[in-house]
Structure 1
Amino acid sequence: MTLQDKLPASRLLIGIVAVLLAMTAIVISSTVIALDSLADAREQSIDQIAPTERRAKDLNRSLLDQETGLRGFVLTGEQSFLMPYLDGQTAAKQAADDVRGLVGGLDGRVDRIASLAQQWRTEYADPTISRVRAAGPGLEPAGDTDRGRRLFEQVRVEVNALQADIGGLGVTARDELNHTAGVVLWLVIGMGVLLVAVIGGLSLLLYRLLIGPLAELAEQVRQVASGDFEHEIDVHGPRETVMLGEDVNAMRRRIVQELATLDAASAELQRSNSELEQFAYVASHDLQEPLRKVASFCQLLQRRYGGKLDDRADQYIEFAVDGAKRMQGLINDLLAFSRVGRITRERTMVDLGEIVRHLVDSFSERIEETNAHIVAENLPSVRGEATLLSAMFQNLISNALKFRGSTDPIVNIEAERDGDMWKFSVHDNGIGIEPEYADRIFVIFQRLHPKDAYPGTGIGLAMCRKIVEYHGGTIWLKTDVDAGTTFEFTLPVAEEDLASESAEEDLVEVSR
């Protein structure tokens, strides 16, 4: 399958989301329909059947009240006994209307009850009331009594049948309610199981189509990142994942090409370094030998013929001697500068305080001559090459004594801890350096003063910078000082000191 034939990840995600949304819509719709059916069944049971049962009982009671009131009037003749009879008619009519409104006529049963009740009143109750009013209370004829009892018994039978019908409706409604509740329960359970299955299936599909290929790509990229640049990345999956793999492959091929170029450049650099070492050897032996000879013979000319020739000849000889000496010093400084970082020695723990004390002793003559005062207290020990670190402090102290002001020189050398680094400061009260020259002074052969005013080759601070960076630190000129010159530089704290401090912290933590 070509790259164009592969589905993009966006379409896969859209399809998965669409399926989830469809399933969610189906679940919600089915649940709503089931709950609506449950609500209808509950409404029928609570809001229709139960009130109908109460109104059917009211209908039965109102009919009994009519029969009881009539019997009392027949026996006593008192008008008050007719009140239940009259009120019962109104209540019976209202109860019958309510039953019709709630559940309908129930196959005409409510109408039959009303018709039979009306027949009982017309054929028996009303004539009996008229007779009692005309003849007074007393026992009614046995035939009339039997007829009235038969007519009312028909009404009673229909009322009982009505209550039985309503009870059947209640049983049916409750069965329907229970059935609907069960359907809702099983529907919810089924939808939940189906939703879990769909989500699980879609998750597995998502893993196989998206997450799996991405994880495989990440594993192969880590393999390349670990240094196996020859490993060809081959991934499957959506279009974006394959394109990303191809991009990583293109980057890997470029890295391989760059590495090949770097190898060639490294070989060329090694050859150049070899030639530089050869040049350094020639400069230190072959070049210095004739230079020493020139200087020696110039000095012999100066001693033997000094004052015997004219003043200009003496001046020429002096220029030649001075030039030879400066050339010899320049060659020596260049050799020392080229050896930093190229000719390495074993790094040991170096007591910087001891190094400064030795340098002060070596500068004792100049210190006494200039009445200088050098203060260096509590300098730490660091891991490095003692010769190089000594050369660095020698250059800084020598510059402080060389570029002194009108007052006696004072040099302060301090050190303070700054995390995993030592921060050193070398401050003097000399003529100072303008801030705009802060970077220029560390470039080889860059001088701020003519050689006649201040002798030197212009390599000292460049040497300091190379030594500090070789030891993993940084050196700079502090520009926000009121007077004099302040150089600051950093050197890493020795690993032994860091391990010791960590052990002490662990011990303190345990003791707590």
Structure 2
Amino acid sequence: MDERMGPGWPLGRWYLAVVVVMVLVVAAAVGVGAWGLHGLYVARALVVDQIDPAAREALVLSNALVSEENGLRGYVLTGRQDFLQPYHEGQQQEAQAVQVLRGLQTGDLASASASLDAVQRAADQWRAEYAAPALAQASAGDIERGKALFDQVTGALRVQETQLADARASGRAVLNTAADNLIVVGVVVVVTLLALILLLSLLAHYGVVRPLSKLATEVRLVADGQFQRKVSGSGSREFAGLAADVDQMRLHIVNELDTLQQVHDELERSNRDLEQFAYVASHDLQEPLRKVASFCQLLERRYKGQLDERADQYIAFAVDGAKRMQILINDLLSFSRVGRLTREQVVVDCNDILEQAKANLGTMIEESGAQIEAGPLPSVRGEPALLTAVFQNLIGNAVKFHGDDPPKVTLSAERDGEFWTFTCADNGIGIEPEYAERVFVIFQRLHPKDAYPGTGIGLAMCRKIIEYHGGRIWLDTDADRGTVFRFTLPVVEEEQDQ
């Protein structure tokens, strides 16, 4: 067993137990319900199919015997044969009713057969001792004797009616009891199912929702930065195992963060040392380089034409190399100062920044006949000198790397949420998409030095300045013509609140 799963039943076993209990309860409820329905069916069959029809046939039998007695009495008193018709019809009805009653008086109603036997015995005695002699002699005979015998018949009929009424009342009571039992069974089943549903809901809450909410809260606290907070699970074994896995992941992240922090600290220290080295190296090289450049220029002015042509060429190479080295050192010095020698950031109008950059590039713009167009530019927060360097480098590159047509540079800005997106587009020679990242690497050049002047630091400095101000810069590789650079700068806080 995985030790991380923790003690106790797993969640699946809890749910299986609840489902088994629910199935057993439902099966028991179905069984009890079936028993109740069977009792209701039996009681209904007894009342509807036996007792009620027997009561009706008992009434038919009673009416048939009364018809026999009335017909016989009319015949013996008047001697008319037509009075015998009710007598004979009554005998037929009596026989049919007795046959039906014999078929109905079975099972729980079998006890009523005795009363039917008593009725038949009394009726047979009445016919044998009074009706048959009266019909044979065509006289009333002993009327009192006949009346007494028929009273025995009516008494037996009343006993039978009373017995059937009692059976009907008993059947009705059984039927009502069965109906009440069925209602009770239904209520018990519904209450039991509701209790099981409540139990399942409580199990879901305490076994799933509550532990999951607790785990989510602890994970959210860790995600918010409390990496030293241990993630502990509760509830079923699955959640305990999940919490243990998450805590293992937390520990792994903590270890990774510690390692990354150490690497970051070392990298920052290395960067500071490198920047300090670049600054010191470039600063300390200024003086000897100025001397080399100055004396090379003096040699060029003083001895130009006095030596042979090759000597003049060598001197020219030395002067050019000293000048380019001086430019490179100055650019490297400026690059190393970005983010190191900070000044207070203020809200500056980018239109003023653009004008300053154009003024710095005045000679280049005038000589190339460049056309600089710009839409309304926003105000941003930053160091004016550094932002001027960004505009100056982007416009200077657009003018420098122009094609056959006079350079045309277009600048614009649009707001995108909490950032301004600036666009600098030109009609120059363009940059291939595969060099989209290489152009921002320091000292990386895409053209020979004799084709286009420069040190390869300009765009690297632009990226460093933009990232120092909280934005980013990239080459738009979807441009159809020329080169399009885009960079973002945060919206001024006052404008964000509007």
**TM-score normalised by L of structure 2:** 0.88
2:462 corresponding residue in structure 1: 464
Q: Distance in 1 between matches of 2:387 and 2:375?
A: 17
1:312 corresponding residue in structure 2: 310
1:315-464 correspondence runs (5 A)? 315-464=313-462
Q: Distance in 2 between matches of 1:59 and 1:358?
A: 130
Conserved in 1, the CA contact under 8 Å of 2:421 and 2:489? yes
Question: Per the alignment, in what secondary structure is the counterpart of residue 277 of structure 1?
Answer: helix
Question: Per the alignment, in what secondary structure is the counterpart of residue 172 of structure 2?
Answer: helix
- C-alpha change, 1:371 and 1:213, in structure 2 (3 Å) is closer
2:124 corresponding residue in structure 1: 118
1:293 corresponding residue in structure 2: 291
- C-alpha change, 1:307 and 1:76, in structure 2 (3 Å) is farther
- C-alpha change, 1:444 and 1:99, in structure 2 (3 Å) is farther
The sequence identity of aligned pairs, in percent, is: 52
**Higher mean Cα deviation, 54-63 or 435-444?**
435-444
Q: For residues 278-323 of structure 1, what are the alpha-carbon distances to aligned partners after superposition, in whole Å with 9 as ceiling and x for unaligned?
A: 2133124212221222112211211222222222112112211211
- C-alpha change, 1:407 and 1:271, in structure 2 (3 Å) is closer
Conserved in 1, the CA contact under 8 Å of 2:360 and 2:392? no
Question: Per the alignment, in what secondary structure is the counterpart of residue 309 of structure 1?
Answer: coil
| Offset at residue 213 of structure 1 (A) | 5.0
Conserved in 2, the CA contact under 8 Å of 1:38 and 1:181? yes
Indicate whether 1:178 and 2:176 are aligned.
Answer: yes
- C-alpha change, 1:130 and 1:497, in structure 2 (3 Å) is farther
Pick aligned residue for 1:244 from 238, 242, 245: 242
- The residue type equivalent to 1:60 in the other structure is S
- C-alpha change, 1:403 and 1:308, in structure 2 (3 Å) is same
Conserved in 2, the CA contact under 8 Å of 1:20 and 1:199? no
**Higher mean Cα deviation, 288-297 or 329-338?**
329-338
Conserved in 2, the CA contact under 8 Å of 1:16 and 1:202? yes
| Offset at residue 381 of structure 1 (A) | 2.2
Q: Distance in 1 between matches of 2:36 and 2:394?
A: 92
Conserved in 2, the CA contact under 8 Å of 1:66 and 1:89? yes
- C-alpha change, 1:77 and 1:294, in structure 2 (3 Å) is farther
Q: Distance in 1 between matches of 2:232 and 2:309?
A: 86
1:153-172 correspondence runs (5 A)? 153-172=151-170
**Higher mean Cα deviation, 445-454 or 412-421?**
412-421
Indicate whether 1:128 and 2:134 are aligned.
Answer: yes
Q: Distance in 2 between matches of 1:267 and 1:477?
A: 31
Indicate whether 1:490 and 2:473 are aligned.
Answer: no
Q: Distance in 1 between matches of 2:493 and 2:79?
A: 127
| Offset at residue 37 of structure 1 (A) | 2.0
Q: Distance in 2 between matches of 1:79 and 1:382?
A: 135
- The residue type equivalent to 1:87 in the other structure is E
Conserved in 1, the CA contact under 8 Å of 2:73 and 2:140? no
1:38 corresponding residue in structure 2: 40
Question: Per the alignment, in what secondary structure is the counterpart of residue 412 of structure 2?
Answer: strand
**Higher mean Cα deviation, 313-322 or 456-465?**
456-465
**Higher mean Cα deviation, 111-120 or 450-459?**
111-120
**Higher mean Cα deviation, 281-290 or 222-231?**
222-231
Question: Per the alignment, in what secondary structure is the counterpart of residue 497 of structure 2?
Answer: helix
2:253 corresponding residue in structure 1: 255
Q: For residues 188-236 of structure 1, what are the alpha-carbon distances to aligned partners after superposition, in whole Å with 9 as ceiling and x for unaligned?
A: 4445555555555666566666665555544544444444434445555
**Higher mean Cα deviation, 388-397 or 487-496?**
487-496
Conserved in 1, the CA contact under 8 Å of 2:115 and 2:156? yes
Q: Distance in 2 between matches of 1:340 and 1:225?
A: 34
**Higher mean Cα deviation, 1-10 or 153-162?**
1-10
Unmatched 5+ stretches in structure 1: 133-139, 501-512
**Higher mean Cα deviation, 392-401 or 221-230?**
221-230
**Higher mean Cα deviation, 188-197 or 171-180?**
188-197
- The residue type equivalent to 2:421 in the other structure is K
Q: Distance in 2 between matches of 1:353 and 1:123?
A: 143
- C-alpha change, 1:236 and 1:399, in structure 2 (3 Å) is closer
| Offset at residue 401 of structure 1 (A) | 1.0
Q: Distance in 2 between matches of 1:180 and 1:351?
A: 94
Conserved in 1, the CA contact under 8 Å of 2:68 and 2:87? yes
Indicate whether 1:16 and 2:18 are aligned.
Answer: yes
| Offset at residue 130 of structure 1 (A) | 4.3
- C-alpha change, 1:238 and 1:321, in structure 2 (3 Å) is same
Conserved in 1, the CA contact under 8 Å of 2:429 and 2:483? yes
- C-alpha change, 1:257 and 1:185, in structure 2 (3 Å) is same
Q: Distance in 2 between matches of 1:221 and 1:399?
A: 50
Unmatched 5+ stretches in structure 2: none
| Offset at residue 362 of structure 1 (A) | 3.1
| Offset at residue 169 of structure 1 (A) | 0.9
Q: Distance in 2 between matches of 1:180 and 1:247?
A: 59
- The residue type equivalent to 2:149 in the other structure is L
Question: Per the alignment, in what secondary structure is the counterpart of residue 16 of structure 1?
Answer: helix
- The residue type equivalent to 1:367 in the other structure is I
- C-alpha change, 1:159 and 1:425, in structure 2 (3 Å) is same
Q: Distance in 2 between matches of 1:374 and 1:182?
A: 98
| Offset at residue 184 of structure 1 (A) | 3.3
How much is the aligned-residue C-alpha RMSD, in angstroms?
3.0
Q: For residues 80-126 of structure 1, what are the alpha-carbon distances to aligned partners after superposition, in whole Å with 9 as ceiling and x for unaligned?
A: 43333222222222222333333335142223323332333344334
- C-alpha change, 1:422 and 1:93, in structure 2 (3 Å) is farther
| Offset at residue 170 of structure 1 (A) | 1.5
**Higher mean Cα deviation, 371-380 or 23-32?**
23-32
Q: For residues 246-280 of structure 1, what are the alpha-carbon distances to aligned partners after superposition, in whole Å with 9 as ceiling and x for unaligned?
A: 32332233233223323432332232133123213
- C-alpha change, 1:118 and 1:408, in structure 2 (3 Å) is same
1:131-150 correspondence runs (5 A)? 131-132=137-138, 140-141=139-140, 143=142, 145-150=143-148
Aligned pair count reads 492
Conserved in 1, the CA contact under 8 Å of 2:76 and 2:140? no
Q: For residues 15-35 of structure 1, what are the alpha-carbon distances to aligned partners after superposition, in whole Å with 9 as ceiling and x for unaligned?
A: 232223222322332233223
